[in-house]
Amino acid sequence: MADIAPHQVPDGEQAVSAPGSEKGTDSQNSPGPEISNGDDSEKDEGPLTEPHELKESDCYEKLGYCWPRWKKWSYLAAVACVQVSMNFNTSVYPNAVKPLAAAFDISEQKARVGQMIYLVTYSIGCELWAPWSEEFGRWPILQLSMFLINIWQIPAALAPNWGSIVVARGLGGISTAGGSVTLGLIADIYEAETQQFPLAFIVLSSCIGTSIGGIIGGPIERFLGWQWFFWIQLIFGGVVQAIIFFMPESRSTILIDREAKRQRKTGENPYVYGPNELKKPRVSLKEAGTIWMRPFLMLVREPIVLCLSLLSGFSDALIFTFLESFTLVYKQGWDFGTLAIAWAFIPINLAYFLTYFSYFPWFIRDGAIRKSQGDDALPPERRLKWLLFLAPFEPIGLFGFAWTSFGNERNVHWIGSMIFSTMVGIANYAIYLSSVDYMIASYGVYSASACGGNAFARDFLAGISAMYATPMYSNIGQKWHVEYASTVLACLSCLVVLPIYVFYWKGPQVRERSKFAQSLAVDRKANQGRRLSKPRGEP
């Protein structure tokens, strides 16, 4: 599954800030002393007559924060289409396993390599694309990513042998600029205090894309050939690419560059330049390496990132395990056909929508508290409070699913297992949203890297699950294979959800011992309590 990471600011580049704030684009990367950064003292002396940098506060009304509401939500709808498309490419594949095995005379386990390789390379691709979207803009990176994804569907659909499909799937995964870019789009048009609603919406689209593949994959398997699994992905991706073609650019530094060029062209201010125009070189190898490595370093060094990423990754792996196990559960237990098994995924999608709307009262109340008491009234641990009640649904749902899967042999109705699978879906969405929201609040400017580690864990663990899900559900135990397999997952989930409660009550102490969190606190103190848009130095 694709996973999501917030706004990431490469070294040497400043993010946009509201007018009047002390955040802004400095000139530390300017080519020489002749370039002025246009600070307030110089402004007081009158118009500048030497080259200087255009600041965010000078053109704030040109940035995405000032877009009207209809434009922002139209933009989010297009981003949601991207998320659904990219995650659909991962979730529709399990239905292709049997047709591919028959077509190329290979085992079904070997055919699952196509699912595994796509998700593992997806987890790497998300991290590789993110810094380039910060440097060159969201629009060209998303267009290039979607173009490459669509291109690699063609050799997969026309593959003369199994190896060609594996290569095409791997290239498609590495070409996917998933959540690492899409959440950056949210940060381009919403301030941190108002991004919870759009964040929840994009997380919803990601989860829907993960589960909708099972619904659509059933009819493809039943009525069409194996090639159509890839043609459908190409058609869906082509439509989405056409939609995002009309998306405006939202990256703040790109918009500032454009405004500076406009002012020079019209003669309004012939001495002004955008931040990227003054930055030489635009991207250094050292800078790119630092950005690429930070998510993996934080995943290893930071206990908050590690535990929440494992929790989120395990939950995501469960959904992909379900994609594999539903065929065994409902075919063996209730003799469901291909289409009926596809419809069994509908309750999970309903669970995502129910959980999405359940967060609204919390968001509204948080907004009211911020408005009346200020941002400091809400510690980051507040983002986990609703999750405290929803996280237990994961082990409960798994235990219930396990022991309502007996089928007609024990006169157990199939609706019971679907109710419990709905509970797993509720927990999966809540874990995904709350963990990302908490890391954004805890790590500030480092949250992009923190959530990047989260995205890597989600996609990588989901990819590995493609190889063990069906063998585990088929071979564990002597008689009740399905029941024992789900019980094992339920027991593991009990252990994995425990850190949620530890971080809720002990989160402040954990953050005090974090090098990244300490560095962020020092920066805030030096900036009179304001959150910086760029770290002063690597901890």
Contact in structure between 394 and 493 (CB atoms under 8 Å): yes
Neighbours of 20 (CB within 10 A): 7
Please compute the mean of the pLDDT values over residues 82-106 and round it to a whole number: 93
Angle at 425 between CA 435 and CA 451, to 5 degrees: 20
Neighbours of 266 (CB within 10 A): 9
Please name the residues in contact with 139: beta carbons below 8 A apart, sequence gap of 6 or more: 244, 247, 248, 249, 250
Contact in structure between 117 and 175 (CB atoms under 8 Å): no
Please compute the mean of the pLDDT values over residues 380-408 and round it to a whole number: 89
**In the prediction, which pLDDT does 523 show?**
56
Contact in structure between 432 and 203 (CB atoms under 8 Å): yes
Residues facing 272 on adjacent strands: 52
**In the prediction, which pLDDT does 169 show?**
96
Phi, psi (rounded to 5 degrees) for 36: -90, 150
**pLDDT class for 219, splitting at 50, 70, 90?**
very high
Residues above pLDDT 90, as percent of the chain: 32
pLDDT at 528 over 70: no
**In the prediction, which pLDDT does 445 show?**
57
DSSP codes, 178-225: -HHHHHHHHHHHS-GGG-HHHHHHHHHHHHHHHHHHHHHHHHHHHHS-
**Weakest mean pLDDT among 47-51, 87-91, 234-238, 520-524:** 520-524
pLDDT at 29 over 70: no
Residues facing 36 on adjacent strands: 52
**In the prediction, which pLDDT does 522 show?**
58
For the chain, domains (ranges, CATH) are: 22-53+252-283 (no CATH), 68-250 (1.20.1250.20), 294-539 (1.20.1250)
**In the prediction, which pLDDT does 42 show?**
43
DSSP codes, 58-124: GSGGGSGGGS-HHHHHHHHHHHHHHHHHHHHHHHSGGGGHHHHHHHHT--HHHHTHHHHHHHHHHHH
**In the prediction, which pLDDT does 474 show?**
83
**In the prediction, which pLDDT does 507 show?**
80
Neighbours of 292 (CB within 10 A): 16
Please give the single-letter amino acid code of residue 484.
Y
Residues above pLDDT 70, as percent of the chain: 83
